[in-house]
Structure 1
Amino acid sequence: MAKKIRFIFLFLTIALLSFLIINKYFQNSPLATWYFYDNNGEYITGHYYPPAEDDATDAVISIPEKPTKEGLTITHWDTCSIELNIDNKTLNISYFTDGLIQASLSTKTTPYVVLTELYFYQPDDMHWSINRLEDGTYKGWVWDNVANQLISFRYQEDKTTIIDGTKYTLMPESYWLFQRWANGVLVEEYTLDDLPAKDNFIPDIDKQRLIQVKAELQTTVNELVAPLNLPFNLMLWDNSLCQ
């Protein structure tokens, strides 16, 4: 009996020590790692750690902030993200593990103004793309449930009021209201029992539209990033910086 108790005590001791070691490891492991490049050739690496307390003072250990000056920041986390701040513009791109890429280019003014947005799944499944026009309105492509392909649309400056395009609204009675506008006028409206789901078929014309949108944004970014003299080519769509 005593031998059995000693065995149980030894097992629990080993389990407790293992837990403490593993817990300490995860506490000390960074949540994220970031890399910063500026136009003076500066290169900095930093880490985000979980909230922690100093063992002696119980004070929360501060986390160093990323540089706020102009430059390029690449962050590795659950997702990988790129943030470029230069020439009064901000580019943000997030690469998700399910293949989704979300990109936006905006001004750094307050309130900021979105210039371009692009959401798509690798390799060629675009859901949303907009560009701000000179008159302040937005034009782009959005995947439409009924058409089962990308359709052209235009929004007012608020990015909410539809000039040309469609809208689907889930009503309290659990049906969907379909509405279509042309030149700011509601021209079609009817109800749907269910919202048509997106299938895996992507028309060739939609693939070509995505290629064009990606190329235009890549060209814009190449022009913005040129003053940084980066030691690598900032290729937005191959996800190589997240490897």
Structure 2
Amino acid sequence: MDEQLLFDNIANLLQRVRRSAGKSQYHNSDILVIAASKGHLAEDIRTTHACGLRHFGESYLQEALQKMAALEDLDLAWHFIGPIQSNKTGPIAQHFDWAHSVDRIKIARRLNEQRPQHLLPLQVCLQVNISGEASKSGTTIEELPELARAVLELPNLRLRGLMAIPAANTDTDQQREAFGRMREALARLRTLAPDIDTLSMGMSADVENAIIEGATAIRVGTAIFGPRNR
């Protein structure tokens, strides 16, 4: 991908982020921008890093591992943002810095057991199926406390917060309503875990409303790279 185009896309995205943060009442001026690089080439990630981004989100494990090997000379932070299957927990625990999509106690325990001792604890978010879609992973709001308690007991994981992918919707009010419920869920969860600080929500089409409603991390692909190769 052309470096100038990437630079322009990132500059435009960061302008959107700053503008939205200025409209938010939740003091979220420091937004973590995660470039959702699934389906894009390692060379594009290298160019994006040269344009100033360091955090990259992947959903396809084997593709991600190949990119990690090709980019091991760079100081990158890798976020797993796709559904986590039981047979994938080992490589995720061994190679990623963050897992945004923990939605079951079984998965959390496997990640904990398989996290190498020489690495820092794996940073995790609990994925909430905020719109109740059968096609999406995620726990329910009601199940969050039990899952959070279990994760807090696992020494090789660090609970950072919540993640969600609301149903696709072009209506601003409905977008904000879903994101607002996530913000409220995080606030309630702080009674169990006062140190949690991450609300991972918002993608290319709805990043403004996510930030206005309190997002602290956004996962953006198309607005940075353009449409995926696949």
**TM-score bin (small chain):** under 0.3
TM-score (norm 2): 0.26
Choose between structure 1 and 2 for higher RCO, CA contacts under 8 A separated by at least 6 residues.
2
Higher strand share: 1
Higher helix share: 2
Structure with bigger gyration radius: 1
TM-score (norm 1): 0.25
